[in-house]
Amino acid sequence: MPAFAVETPQTTYSSVVERGILGHASEYLPKGAGKLFIVTTDDVWRLHQQALDPQLTKQAYVVFFPGGEANKRLSSLEKLAEELMEGGADRTSLVVTFGGGIVTDVGGFLAAVFMRGIPVLQIPTTLLAQVDAAVGGKTGVNLATGKNLIGSFHQPLAVLIDPDVLKTLPDREYRAGLYEVIKCAIIRDPALFELLKEQPEKVLARDPVAVDTLVAAAVRIKAEVVSADEREGDLRRILNFGHTVGHAIEAETNYTRFLHGEAIGWGMLVAIRLAELGGKLSSQPADEMRRLITLYSSQLPSATGLGAHRLLNRLANDKKTLQGKIHFVLPVAIGKVAIFNGIEAELIERSISETLCLK
Ligand code: GLY
């Protein structure tokens, strides 16, 4: 049972990777917790309710969220908060998120701001949420102008990661999560890079040993990075590899064409090309990185119709743009990235248009 400690100035908690952990999730509830509110979606509830610990479900009030990136908005948060009030929530209540990254982000943010903050237990059910969204305390919602622009750091009581639930995940969602795992490999873990490169059949067939290994590797990396830099002053920025252009692609397509992980897949390809064009990365590792992404990208929606210049303009609205300067996380070797400021707009636009085949 690998458990990875996330240590922040305010709190320390475990991200536990264990098949079957859903069945004893109530062990992670604090003694004396008030009413429980499970925030979930219809489909997750239908598929996985049975696997959840009855000690937890019997005392819980279930609140449904429609799901989808387009619903990750402040208006949804207000509706959920009203439902908590209707269900009798007070300051001793606790939110349990049970779903993908949108549920863990919105449910986590709900907990962060409801009555100025109540605890949250994160139970992610998609690969993307298990390896990234639910770990590390980032919560929030989107604005039309950009991704996750309203939010808060709110660390959970624990993150319970059960790879068993991935069996029912649609293929497209599973592959979308794999892009975040590839991200971890490129930024910090050559051994994970090798596993993804050598065993694509096992990874794509969701072989339990391969899945448990890659989930644990990614969660370990996330826990280490967040423990070193919770508020993204420094090291945590490496987790944004692929996200600068990825977020712009999501916003430009109104959060409807790409799943988050898919946009990150494109964003990583742009960043690899930018690193290469800017002389930060030689072509041999750049080709290896592109080949790895391509191994898993057979279902990646095309970027047709997007404009390179419009995407470039979008970068100004990203949280990672500081005082007008666009910061890029670029790979410098397999397993190593660095942060670069002040890259010429022309080079960025060229990397976008070459990679996404845009004008
Ligand atoms: N998803 C990037 C982070 O948690 O910092």
Give phi and psi for 354, each to the nearest 5.
-65, -45
DSSP 8-state secondary structure symbol assigned to residue 300:
P
Ligand 1 mean position to 177 CA, how many Å? 13
Whole-number mean pLDDT of the chain? 95
The closest of 119, 321, 337 to 221, measured between CA atoms, is 337
pLDDT (0 to 100) of residue 55: 95
> The whole model's pTM is what?
0.95
In testing the pocket of ligand 1, which one of 227, 235, 239, 241 has its CB within 8 Å of the most ligand atoms?
A: 239
pLDDT (0 to 100) of residue 77: 97
**Atom 3 in ligand 1: residue holding the nearest Cα:** 239
What digits encode the pLDDT tens for the residues 276-335? 999 999 999 999 999 999 999 988 999 988 999 999 988 877 766 666 678 899 999 999
Q: What residues line ligand 1, using a CB cutoff of 6 Å? A: 132, 136, 138, 236, 239
pLDDT (0 to 100) of residue 126: 98
Q: Which residue has the tokens 């596993």?
A: 195
Ligand 1 mean position to 237 CA, how many Å? 8
Q: Calculate what percentage of the chain has a pLDDT beyond 70.
A: 97
Per-residue exposure over 299-310, b if at least 16 CB sit within 10 Å of its own CB, e if not: ebeebeebbbee
Ligand 1 mean position to 271 CA, how many Å? 17
Which mean pLDDT values do the consecutive 10-residue runs of the chain (359 residues) have?
Answer: 94 98 97 95 97 96 93 96 98 98 98 98 98 98 90 98 97 97 98 98 98 98 98 95 94 92 97 97 98 94 91 80 80 97 90 85
**Atom 5 in ligand 1: residue holding the nearest Cα:** 239
